[in-house]
Amino acid sequence: MVKKAGVRRFAVLAAAAMLVLSACGSDDGDSGSDGGSDGGGESTGKVGVILPDATTSPRWEASDRPSLQQAFDDAGIESDIQNAGGDVAKFGEICDAMITSGVQVLMIVNLDSESGAACLKKAADAGVASIDYDRLTLGGGASYYVSFDNVEVGRLMGAGLQGCLDAEGKNKANIVYVNGAATDNNATLFKNGYEEALAPKIDAGDYTLVGDQSGEWDAKKAGDVYEQMYTQNKGKIDGVVSANDTMAGGIIARMKPAGVAGKIPVTGQDASVEGLQNILAGYQCGTVYKNTNLEADLASKLAIALINGEDASSLVTGSVNDSVTGEDVPSALATPEWITRDTVSKVVSDGFAAAADICKGDAAKACTELGIQ
């Protein structure tokens, strides 16, 4: 649930940031740092960033890392950006090393709320301000949360699937959900969104939900669960809500041998190169575009403000409730967009994806037709 945040809470957090600044001096130890501070003058502080993996989505290394790195370099802030590689133990080790090295702000994308909360508690005990990036750590007590409106992301997927079915004249449809990992709070929020968007059609009896399983953000697992549902329903599936492009790719790979790729609308998320190619080729009906440059910009500005002892409340747009602690976490949320074949060019013009990467194979002809270059 998103709420407007109270001024009093921000004043307290701003004061805490000042205390963090006075308590934690700059430390040049980088513990395997991937960042530097030569882009904006002498470093005035240090931020640590833990990314989750490089497999569930290409965005972490292709988009988030360079955007965050550039912002910190430009501000003269020393940064240590590392990737946990999907390994909870490694995540914990990186967290410990960053806190020991003297970071003043710790930004994390958790692998699960339990290990994420353990890391955030250590940061709090050490007087380090924290930012949950993209995923809220339930029970973690982060100082701030920066993400997209993730319920809206789900609504866009649900409305997008309906739009694709409408375009094919399918007023009656059997649909399935292939959800993200149960350990990821964002997956819950996405599902809340597409359930909300599709509830009127399901309640009216126009759509029947004939399958609802997790693909764990994994292409193969998503393909497996889709194939199981397809077999169980004797091929009578008319639409698929896939919670991201990686899983959509796995599902489409199973559709091709059955001759139904492009005939059963599939949603996605992340506007990945693979997802955009599948959209242009006609295999995927759309994707939710989250311009991670916007998210990284908000998060880096917030971290820089905290390090510099500045009031960060002007960067916050509201708050998101932590269902475990019951506390409202001050938040900055960016706005997602639904992308279809006719709007893929926007992702390219924004610089989020390159035409040279997208316009290959089955997508090349569509790029020519649409003037994507």
Return the structure tokens found at 220. Answer: 């193969």
* pLDDT of the residue at 108: 98
User: What does the buried/exposed string (b/e) look like for 250-262 if buried means 16 or more CB atoms within 10 Å of the residue's CB?
Assistant: bbbbbbeeeeebb
Q: Which of 275, 299, 300, 277 is nearest to 289 (CA)?
A: 275
- Burial track 133-168 (b if 16+ CB lie within 10 A, e otherwise): bbbbbbbbbbbbbbbbbbbbbbbbbbbbbbebbeee
- Per the listing, tokens 């199973």 go with 254
Element (DSSP H or E) covering residue 113: helix 113-125
Q: What is the pLDDT of residues 53-79, one digit of tens each?
A: 999 888 999 999 999 999 999 999 999
Q: Which residues 6+ apart lie within 8 Å of 355 measured at CB?
A: 348, 367, 372, 373
Nearest to 176 by CA among 127, 231, 213, 205: 213
CA distance 93 to 91: 5
pLDDT in tens, 337-359: 999 999 999 999 999 999 999 99
C-beta neighbour count of 234 within 10 angstroms: 7
Name residues of the chain where pLDDT drops below 50.
1-43
Sheet holding 173-179, edge to edge: 207-214, 173-179, 239-242
Contact indicator for 283, 369 with CB cutoff of 8 Å: no
Question: Pairing mode, if any, of strands 46-51 and 105-108?
Answer: parallel
CA distance 278 to 275: 5
Q: Which residues contact 18 (CB under 8 A, 6 or more apart)?
A: 309
Q: What is the per-residue pLDDT for 32? A: 39
Q: How far apart are CA 182 and CA 105, in angstroms?
A: 28
Distance CA 100, CA 183 (A): 28
- Confidence at residue 6, expressed as pLDDT on a 0 to 100 scale: 39
- pLDDT for 181 equals 96
CB burial of residue 130 (10 Å; 0-12, 13-18, 19+): buried
Contact 130, 142 (CB under 8 A): yes
Nearest to 244 by CA among 215, 221, 281, 203: 215
Show the domains of the chain with their CATH numbers: 2-142+291-334 (3.40.50.2300), 150-289+340-370 (3.40.50.2300)
How many residues in total does the chain contain? Answer: 373
How many alpha carbons lie under 13 Å from residue 123 in its C-beta half-sphere?
31
What is the spatial distance between Cα 45 and Cα 128, in angstroms, rounded to a whole number? 12
pLDDT at 361: 94
Structure tokens, 191? 């599902």
Torsion of CA 252, 57, 174, 263, to 10 degrees: -30
Cα 104 to chain centroid distance, Å, stands at 24
